[in-house]
Amino acid sequence: MRIGELSERTGTPRRLLRYYEEQGLIVADRLPNGYRVYDESNVDRVAQIRGLLDAGLPTRIIKQILPCLNKPRIIHFPDATPEMLATLEEERDRMTERIRFLTRNRDAVAEYLVAVREKLAAGSA
């Protein structure tokens, strides 16, 4: 498929698909006329990228961890340098931290909402 279809199917502006490519997050083949061509796998990949971005990870980190997140559970080890592993561990811990924090705050917000609803119910009763 070309960029327009991928854009529609992932709900991602073309501009960003090009940007992700520029950042090395996705790769596109080219038709003889220069048009980008994508295969199915890119749909999932873009979704993954967007999710990670939305989760607050910067593209340069996403670039590092993406290869470890392949669907086929065949972990193909890229040049797994020690520093890269260190980065990954850091990032894993950062994610864990984030999850903890986010969960705490989500729960607080949720509790608040419940409390407000009760208040409202009591008030209107």
Partner DNA sequence: CTTGACCTTCACATCAATGTGAGGGTTCGA
Partner DNA sequence: TCGAACCCTCACATTGATGTGAAGGTCAAG
Residue 5 or 103 having the CB closest to its own copies: 103
Adjacent-strand bridge partners of 54: none
Contacted entry of DNA, its own copies, none for residue 119, CB cut-off 5 to 8 Å set by kind = its own copies
26 interacts with DNA by CB under 7 A: no
Which one of 2, 92, 117, 119 is in contact with DNA (CB under 7 A)?
A: 2
Q: Quick one: DSSP state of residue 68?
A: G
Q: Pick from DNA, its own copies, none: which does 115 bind, CB < 5 to 8 A by kind?
A: its own copies
Query: Would you count residue 112 as binding DNA (CB under 7 A)?
Result: no
Residue 88 as a binder of its own copies (CB under 8 A): the answer is: yes
DSSP string, 74-124: --------HHHHHHHHHHHHHHHHHHHHHHHHHHHHHHHHHHHHHHHHHHH
Rounded Cα distance between 66 and 124, Å, is: 51
Contacting residues toward DNA, per CB under 7 A: 2-5, 7, 13-16, 18-19, 23, 28, 31-36, 50, 53-54, 58-60
